Chain A
Amino acid sequence: MRPKYMRSPLIPEMATQEVQLNETLAHLKTESETLKSKLEEERAKLHDVELHQVAEKVEGLGQFVMKTRRTLKGHGNKVLCMDWCKDKRRIVSSSQDGKVIVWDAFTTNKEHAVTMPCTWVMACAYAPSGCAVACGGLDNKCSVYPLSLDKNENLAAKKKSVAMHTNYLSACSFTNSDMQILTSSGDGTCALWDVESGQLLQSFHGHAADVLCLDLAPSETGNTFVSGGCDKKANVWDMRSGQCIQSFETHESDINSVRYYPSGDAFASGSDDATCRLYDLRADREVAIYSKESIIFGVSSVDFSLSGRLLFGGYNDYTINVWDVLKGTRVSILFGHENRVSTLRVSPDGTAFCTGSWDHTLRVRAICSLI
């Protein structure tokens, strides 16, 4: 028998419903927390050894002497992003003033230059064929520019607008062909686009804040990618379904860069919390932290050497730290830039790596001599 109230009968029902909803919400929250700890438990059960223990029998690395072999000057403002061409010598770079330049880093010649209609071009990528470049930034778009052998041709005329986000474009990458582009944005999503039609093929939702970086898996199936965001999470996505299949939340601040280990079974991340971390995808956990008390400035970008033994990190204190991935120690600290290092990529054949900086220059470095 329902108690009598001095109000219309609808209100007690709604009140009960709301109470029910709140209870269910609280119930779900508790369930969520329980499941989260269960997952941690499951992960911990399989954690039978540390990386540096497994690495004990591996030979230590000798002294490294790395030299800047090329300094590319030509940008009039902060260099924000760069990417290598598959020919191992050409690169594309983008800067704050809207300029996108294609260089032959080997000869240091500028081969193409495009001026974007926006500033802060935070993302650029070279197409696998070497025939086009993609870039974007504060214009919220990703545009593809086919390159030409004719130096006098105006590349902007053939520009193709592909991706459209609702906020700034933070990173972009071609997939295994020139026909598809993967993008990440400040609007918290990633997306896969068909270049020819500009059609959205798949969108990826799950980050709670700006997504800052992404990297495609090198594995034989080539169907996954990892993204890092301001919500301190690194998520692994299935490109086919749009689902997040794995998630890691151990960083203490924005994740600025993610890069797969060459075998595709792990990935590294660099964050504003001044650490780089290694995550093992098969064990589903973080397996190494690359940090030092004396390093207090954020990491802007990371990349592995060809064998995966070395991890290069570009930092906001203008330096590059080189880490021994297996033993967890720093093997070298490199200088040269006069402002923060904003982007870092190892060349496709692993013979050198290039860094771009807010000091307007790009530097290509290689090993000087092996001791």
Chain B
Amino acid sequence: MQDSKSGIKGSDQKLNVTTIPYVITGKDVIAWIANKMKTTVEGLAAQVFGNMLVAYGYIYPLQNHKKLVMCNDNTLYRFQTPYFWPTQKWVAEDSDYAIYLAKRNIRKKGMLEPYEQAHYNHLHKWLNHKWDFIVMQATEQYKAGKERKKPDRVVFDCQERAYWMINRPPRRTHSAMDCGPDRLIDPSVEEKITFDQYRRMNIFYQQAIMRSKVKSSVSLGALVKYVTTYKNHDAFLAPCLPSNPWQTDSDAYWNLNMRRVDVPTKMRVERWSFSLFELLTDLRGRDDFKIFLKKEFSGENLAFWEAAEELKWGTASSMKTKAETIFKTFLAPGAPRWINIDGRTMGLTVKGLEHPHRYVLEAAQTHVFLLMKKDTFFRYLKSPVYKDIQKKALNPEPHNFSPAQLEQNAQSRGPGIHPIILWQQEEEEKAKAAAASAPVDVKAMMSKIDRKK
């Protein structure tokens, strides 16, 4: 870049009374980078690269020294001397910074900016034991500086100031040298792998080799299919009806898709048909599915699945009671909502319930889910319940706000219903539903009917 022939054209620039040699403009830098990168469509990438050069301190701005960005105009910059490059790998020590600030103080009292003064005071306290040394160094450097010719001195001052701007940035100046906390473990340190570790690794590799894998064409085909299925539901690819709230400041879209709407939107109903997982994840869809199951008198599978979910994701302390309730309701012989699973799974599950743990119902839950997925779900999609909701579903007209209306929308944005309130409402509804559908004691009902005879 600095090559006199193929690099960026620099010129002399007057600064106060001194002439600063080899000054470049921002737009020349960016054009040069863009040319080298051969990026034409993404000329913006050159801008980004330019910004990084300034943020890391390889190039520094001449006038507004706190603004660490590359401006694509006639703003002036200079290349930083390699001595001050971050690649030199020596850390910008506090004692160096103290010497720098002290030197400036010697030159002219009151020259430090407020943030620098704050640093100086802090360092004076913190490095008090070294202070004589620091002042001595600062004085030496100041004297050496005076020996230099004025243009060289000015250039060096600019370079040094730029260096400290990067390494001790004031508030609101963003330097790329800023970094996060250190990593605990250095992954590049050669670790001696122990006997045990090797054994574990080998077992892992063996299991990985044994595990059934799918051909790329199959699995990648599935990824492509997913994208195609959901394409129209992706707000970045297809319009959101009636409008994207972030675009128009109208929250109609969210209101139309709330948890407990009477009539859902067409897009929402379509999404239920994509998979049983989608249908169950959307609680409104789950409600519709329950209506269908009630008509078929086969609600116990879903009820069991829901109960198993409650167990899996619930608190550790509630597990024992939940497991007992589930056993009594769904699994015990003659249970009121007995689920029909194969003997082997039933046996395993019942045995596991003697010492219940979080995943004790896993096998049974998977079995029930697969049953629903392979049979019930498809019957639901063909059922009058689903066809009915499809017909009723709303298809909102796309919004067409005028600029004045958009302004109005922006002014009247409301906070909506707070999630905590929605949650409380939801809990109330759940309690009501549970009370209403308390397990029917079939035996009691039967004996009641017998007595009536």
Contacts and interface: CB of A to CB of B under 8 A. Distances in A.
Nearest to A107: B413
A58 B185 contact: no
A210 B187 CA distance: 8
Interface string B14-47: 0000000000000000000000010100101101
Interface in A141-171: 147-149, 167-168
Contact of A129 (B184, B315, B419): B419
Interface in B248-302: 251, 253-254, 257, 276-277
Interface string B213-236: 111111111111011111101111
Interface in A189-238: 194-197, 199, 201, 208-210, 219-221, 223, 229-232
Contact of A208 (B185, B221, B276, B317): B185
A366 B230 contact: no
Interface in A103-162: 104, 106-107, 109, 120, 122, 129-131, 138, 147-149
Interface stretch (B101-109, B131-139, B175-183, B445-453): B175-183
B291 to A, nearest CB: 22
B191 A58 contact: no
Interface string A16-38: 00000100110011011001101
Contact of B315 (A64, A86, A196, A317): A196
Contact of A209 (B42, B186, B233, B358): B186
**Interface bin, chain A:** 35 or more
B230 A306 contact: yes
Given A46-B215, A107-B414, A280-B220, A220 B276 contact: yes
Of the candidates A64, A232, A305, the one having the most CB atoms from chain B within 10 angstroms of its own CB is A305
Nearest to B423: A129
Given A39-B205, A107-B414, A351-B246, A338 B224 contact: no
B198 A28 contact: yes
Interface residues of B, number: 94
B216 A210 contact: no
A175 B48 CA distance: 38
B208 A246 contact: yes
Contacts of B217: 48-49, 54
Interface stretch (B92-100, B116-124, B149-157, B237-245): B237-245
Chain B interface SS verdict (over half): helix
A267 to B, nearest CB: 11
Contacts of A254: 183, 187
B333 interface: no
B80 interface: no
B236 A120 contact: no
Contacts of A50: 216
Nearest to A353: B236
Contact of A106 (B48, B237, B251): B251
Of the candidates B214, B222, B223, B224, the one having the most CB atoms from chain A within 10 angstroms of its own CB is B223
B91 interface: no
A47 B216 contact: yes
B415 interface: yes
B438 interface: no
A364 B245 CA distance: 12
Contacts of B213: 42-43, 46, 282-284
A86 B217 CA distance: 35
Contacts of B220: 49, 51, 54, 280, 283, 287
A371 to B, nearest CB: 12
Interface string B195-206: 100110110111
Contact of A21 (B49, B176, B195, B366): B195
A43 B358 CA distance: 34
Contact of A307 (B230, B239, B309): B230
Interface in A320-338: 325-326, 330, 333, 335, 338
B53 to A, nearest CB: 11
Contact of B237 (A209, A283, A305): A305
Interface string B301-331: 0000000010011111100000000000000
Contacts of A179: 313-315
B419 A308 contact: no
B444 to A, nearest CB: 34
Chain A interface SS verdict (over half): loop
Contacts of B178: 78, 339, 358
B369 interface: yes
A367 B247 contact: yes
Contact of A38 (B174, B205, B312, B313): B205
Given A38-B209, A89-B416, A220-B369, A283 B187 contact: no
Of the candidates B42, B218, B246, B414, the one having the most CB atoms from chain A within 10 angstroms of its own CB is B246
A209 to B, nearest CB: 4
B371 interface: no
A176 interface: yes
Given A351-B235, A351-B246, A48 B195 contact: no
B256 to A, nearest CB: 12
Interface in A39-69: 39, 42-43, 46-51, 54-55, 58, 61, 64, 69
Contacts of B415: 104, 106-107, 109
Interface in A178-195: 179-180, 186-188, 194-195
B231 A358 contact: no
10 contacts: A32-B205, A55-B224, A61-B237, A130-B419, A148-B420, A180-B313, A221-B366, A245-B211, A246-B208, A364-B246
Interface of B: 37, 39, 42, 44-45, 47-49, 51-52, 55, 69, 174, 176, 178, 180-181, 183-187, 191, 193, 195, 198-199, 201-202, 204-209, 211, 213-224, 226-231, 233-240, 244-247, 251, 253-254, 257, 276-277, 309, 312-317, 358-359, 362, 366, 369, 413-416, 418-423
Given A32-B202, A333-B48, A359-B174, 12 more contacts: A25-B198, A54-B221, A86-B419, A88-B254, A149-B421, A179-B315, A263-B222, A266-B219, A310-B237, A338-B174, A370-B237, A370-B239
